[in-house]
Amino acid sequence: MKHHTNFVPVLLILFITICNLLIFNSSVFAGKTYTNSLGMRFVYIPAGSFLMGSPKNEKGRNWNETLHKVTFSRGFYMEETEVTQGQWNRLVTSNPSSFKRGDNYPVDSVSWNQAMQFISFLNSYEHTDKYRLPTEAEWEYACRAGTNTAFSGGPITTFSCKEPEPALVHTTWYCYNSGEKDPPDAFSPHPVKQLSANAWGLYDMQGNVQEWVMDSCKGRNMLTGRVGVITNTYKPNKVDPLCTKGHYRVFRGGGWYQGPKYQRCAFRGYYAPGTIRNSLGFRLVRME
């Protein structure tokens, strides 16, 4: 009884301490991971708020990157890497990739429609409905990983493909380092997880292949004539935003052939949902 009596207060103190951590420090969740039946590894992204878009003085900024606060009411699991050809092949018989170089390469040449079909197959295979594409806001939140600079690794200093961008060279396959020699002359994607992850443990969020997200969009402002991603979500204090209006679909992240301007966390692009390009892939979200 003596040992038992002393043990209870210790447990109580430990329980209170853990509860305080969970309430006041959401980053405690950041180390949680989940691996599914295909070997896809997911990293837990905690609920929270961030400033989405870019400041007016950011080099390379586009007109449709209005800075605004976004809040997520719940956390989610983001796939650690882009969907690979090996993962695709375990579930779907025909690999659409233009660069069929191995299981660890990201699957490319995938339309938004094909990505959605893959997700439907995966949900059916695992008897769940938890898998989906990330929203545009979730993607940028995870890409930034708590930072507010042009790249998760720092500010943008150059648009050049011939000189290194210090904030990209260790994390991103882009036009400076994705070629076969120096200076590069044959750009191509690379196997996932060869470069460093961001602060939340996610690889290739910038560069390698562009990534489809869930959001729909329009491509032209009929009043101003401006062309680019147009959604109804870039407004102050949005909670769990998702745009469902428009004939196009948004993609995020720059491609292996593009310069630093297009690798910025805030950069937005769009294609028709049936578009297939050898620079287009995707990664998944798994809901709690």
Give 186-232 pLDDT, tens digit per residue.
789 999 999 999 999 999 999 999 999 999 999 988 788 889 999 99
Cis amide bond preceding 183, omega within 30? yes
Flag whether pLDDT at 131 surpasses 60: yes
Whole-model pTM?
Answer: 0.88
- The Cα 56–Cα 231 span in angstroms is 19
Give 42-73 pLDDT, tens digit per residue.
999 999 999 999 999 999 999 999 999 999 99
The pLDDT, as a whole number, for residue 220 is 87
φ, ψ dihedrals at 51, nearest 5°: -95, 115
Domain boundaries defined on the chain: 1-25, 48-70+81-287
Residue appearing with tokens 């979730």:
138
Query: Contact, 75 vs 288, CB < 8 A?
Result: yes
Q: Provide the CATH number for the domain formed by 48-70+81-287 in this structure.
A: 3.90.1580.10
Query: Contact, 203 vs 149, CB < 8 A?
Result: no
- The Cα 115–Cα 185 span in angstroms is 30
φ, ψ dihedrals at 141, nearest 5°: -60, -45
Q: Which of 95-99, 177-181, 185-189, 236-240 has the lowest mean pLDDT?
A: 177-181
